Structure 1
Amino acid sequence: MPEHAVEKVVVHPLVLLSVVDHFNRIGKVGNQKRVVGVLLGAWHKGVLDVSNCFAVPFDEDDKDLAVWFLDHDYLENMYGMFKKVNARERIVGWYHTGPKLHKNDIAVNELMKRYCSNSVLVIIDAKPRALGLPTEAYISIEEVHDDGTPTSKTFEHVPSEIGAEEAEEVGVEHLLRDIKDTTVGTLSQRITNQVQGLKGLQARLVDVRRYLESVSAGDLPINHQIVYQLQQSIWCGQGPGQWSMGMREDILHLEIALLCHHYDATKQRSVCLQDHHPPT
C-alpha cells in the first residue's frame, strides 16, 4: 500500500457507536480496562476518512505490559468479509479506548503495519469525563534525539474531528431526539457552546503550563519543537505591538534561557568532539 501523508483524521459517528458498544459488551463479561479494534476507511488528499470499524480479540497483562495478544487470524477473516461488502474500505489503522496512550501501543502498531504501512492509532474515550472531542489520533514516527542516541519510535499527534455524511447526520439526529433538550433556545445553546469551548481551551492551557513547569523543574527534557510551536501560538495571537511590558520581558527571558541552553549544548558537543578527536 502506498504511503499517505496524514494531515487530518475524520471519524464517522458509526465508528463511535461501534466502539462504545464494543466497550460496553466487553465490560459486562470481563475486567478489561480497554478494548481494541481495526479501523476501515480511505485517504483523500491528506485526509483520512474513518468510516467503519470492527472489534478484535485482545488481551494484555496488567503487570507486564510487554505481554499482550491480538488475534490476527480473526482480524484477517473479518477484513475478508468486510471487503466483500465494501471493497473501497481498507484497513487504515486501529483503535483502543485508552483513555491515554499505553506503553505497548508501539508494539501493537508495528503489528498493524503488516496490513497498513502507515497505520493510524485513534484513541476513542468511551467514557469521556472532560470537555472536547472523545478522539485523539496518532501516527508512528522515528524520533531523533538531540544527544546523539539512536532513534526510537514514538507517536505524533494528528488533528482529528467528527464528520458525517448526510444520511449519518439524519440517523444521529434520530438517535438524539429523545436526549436533546428541545426547550433550550438557540441563543442559550450558542452561549453554552461558547462556554464549553472556553473551558476546553482553559484545560489545554493548563496542560501547557504543567508541561513547562515539568521542563523547568528538570522532570522532562526540553523539546525544541514544542517550544517553537508555543512561540508561534503566542506570536500568531497578537503582534509585538500589542504585547504588554510584562509579556515582552517574559518572552525575552525565555529566549535568553533557550539561547543559553543552546550555547551549553554546543559547548558540550565541542568538548566531546575534541576528546574523541584530539589535535595532532
Structure 2
Amino acid sequence: MCFEIILHPVVLLEIIKKKNIEFFNQKNVKRKVGCLMGYKKKDKISVTFSFSLPFEQEDFENNWFIDYYFIEKMTEIHKKINTKESILGWYSTGKKIHRNDTDIYQIFRGYTKYPIQLLLWINPKSHVIFMCAFVNQNNVSEKYLLKNVSITIGMLESEKIGIFYTLKHSESLGKLLHLNVLKNYIELIQMCIRHILKFLQCEIVKTRHDFSLKKFYSIFKKILLISNANFLLEKKKITWVIFSLVNILNSVCKKLSVYKKFVGV
C-alpha cells in the first residue's frame, strides 16, 4: 500500500476560504473537518474537490458530533455533477492528530477502503501553509496505525489559467502581507530604540555616549530614507538597521557594566 497523493490548488482554496481571518488572528482556533473527493489512478490519488462538514467537539474530545446525513447528501449531489470523483478521505485543520480521529476513520472507511487523512495548518506569523497526509497501515484489524504518505501539489491546465488570473487580480492581498511583515520589522526597531534611549537617560552613560549617539542618528536617518518602492530592498535595509541598533545596545551595555565594575557598583 504505497501511493502518492496529488492535491489540487482548488482544494486548498476551498479549505482556507472564509477562514483565513480565524487562522491568522485568533490564538485558539476551533478545529475544522471536511471531506476530500477525487479519483484514483494506479498508485496516484488526485484530490480535486473538498467540502467542509458540520463538526463540533469539546475541549476534552470525549463529546463530538459530525453530520452523517450531510456527507450522504453532498456526495449524492456531487455525483450528479461529476461521476468520476468519489470520497477519498477527510481533512482536519491543526498540527496534531486527535483521539477521535479513529472514530472518524471508521466513518470514512464505509466510503473507501483506504481513507486518507490530511492535516493542514497555517503559521500565523509567516502565513505559510503546512500539510501532511496519513493513511492507516492496519486496515484489517481495529488498530489505528498511521503511515505518512508523500503529498504534492498538482494542477490541470485549466486550473493553471484560473489561478494565474486569480493571483493577478489579488495584488491587494500581497500588499497586505508585505505591510504585515514591515509592521513586525518596525516594532523590532521601536523596541531597540526604546532600550537605547533608556540607557542613554542614565547619568552614567550621559558622559560617554557621543560616539554611540552619532551612530544612532546616522542609522535613524537611514530609517527615514526607506521607501516603499521595492519590498526586498526595504527588507534588507530594515534588517541591517535592526542589527546595527542591537550592536549599539550591546556596546552601551558593555560600557555600563565596565563602568559599574570600575566604580564598584
Specify if TM > 0.5: yes
Percent pairwise identity: 28
Corresponding residue for 1:142?
A: 138
CA shift for structure 1 position 176: 1.9
Corresponding residue for 2:149?
A: 158
Per-residue Cα deviation, 1:128-157 (whole angstroms, up to 9, x for no partner) = 6679762211001239xxxxxx98322110
Corresponding residue for 1:96?
A: 92
Corresponding residue for 1:84?
A: 80
Corresponding residue for 1:175?
A: 166
Distance 2:118 2:57 in 1: 19
The answer to whether structure 1 residue 46 and structure 2 residue 43 are counterparts is yes
Distance 1:128 1:10 in 2: 25
CA distance 1:127–1:20, change in 2 (3 Å):
farther
CA distance 1:51–1:73, change in 2 (3 Å):
same
Corresponding residue for 1:201?
A: none
Distance 1:129 1:161 in 2: 24
CA shift for structure 1 position 107: 1.7
Per-residue Cα deviation, 1:216-260 (whole angstroms, up to 9, x for no partner) = xxxxxxxxxxxxxxxxxxxxxxxxxxxxxxxxxxxxxxxxxxxxx
Corresponding residue for 1:35?
A: 32
Greater C-alpha Rg: 2
TM-score by length of 2: 0.57
Secondary structure in 2 aligned to 1:66?
A: coil
The answer to whether structure 1 residue 21 and structure 2 residue 17 are counterparts is yes
Distance 1:40 1:85 in 2: 13
Misfit runs of 4+, over 4 Å: 24-28, 126-133
Runs (5+) with no aligned partner, structure 2:
176-228, 233-265
Distance 1:169 1:134 in 2: 21
Distance 1:39 1:128 in 2: 24
Runs (5+) with no aligned partner, structure 1:
144-149, 189-280
Residue identity opposite 2:97 in structure 1: L
Residue identity opposite 2:146 in structure 1: F
Secondary structure in 2 aligned to 1:19?
A: helix
Aligned length: 171
Distance 2:136 2:49 in 1: 21
Residue identity opposite 2:76 in structure 1: G
Per-residue Cα deviation, 1:28-55 (whole angstroms, up to 9, x for no partner) = 9xx7521111100011111110000111
Residue identity opposite 2:89 in structure 1: G
My pick for the range that moved more, 103-112 or 122-131, is 122-131
Secondary structure in 2 aligned to 1:107?
A: helix
Residue identity opposite 2:130 in structure 1: P
